[in-house]
Amino acid sequence: QKEVEQDPGPLSVPEGAIVSLNCTYSNSAFQYFMWYRQYSRKGPELLMYTYSSGNKEDGRFTAQVDKSSKYISLFIRDSQPSDSATYLCAMSGITGGGADGLTFGKGTHLIIQP
């Protein structure tokens, strides 16, 4: 079983729809959870950063963490064609990202249709 599972997609939705992206994980030591957006042939861009369980909202983006289920989500409201990209979840333990680096999902390819 991989440490972090993420559906690769592609996930195709019409412009304006609410998008739900998800990751599951197996390592209960993970405490910090991140979402990155990566456009083709570019480096990942940090979107959301959360600690432990709960919700965090930033503009059109909402991140949710459910540690009891080992499940994290990213919601995108009012999706735009410019949101079309690969979305990567990442996580790390209490010792911080440096001690063992960030553990990434393989990414979900999202397509927003105009």
Partner 1 sequence: EAGVTQSPTHLIKTRGQQATLRCSPISGHTSVYWYQQALGLGLQFLLWYDEGEERNRGNFPPRFSGRQFPNYSSELNVNALELEDSALYLCASSLYSHNEQFFGPGTRLTVL
- Sole window of 13-21, 60-68, 75-83, 101-109 interacting with partner 1 (rule: CB under 8 A): 101-109
Please check whether residue 88 is in contact with residue 43, taking contact to mean a CB–CB distance below 8 angstroms.
no
Q: Taking the complex as a whole, how short is the minimal distance between the CB of residue 11 and partner 1, in angstroms?
A: 17
Q: If binding is defined by CB under 8 A, does position 101 make contact with partner 1?
A: yes
Q: If binding is defined by CB under 8 A, does position 99 make contact with partner 1?
A: yes
Q: Which one among 14, 59, 98, 114 touches partner 1, defined by CB under 8 A?
A: 98
DSSP code of residue 94: T
Polymer length of the chain? 114
Backbone angles phi, psi at 98, to 5 degrees: -75, -40
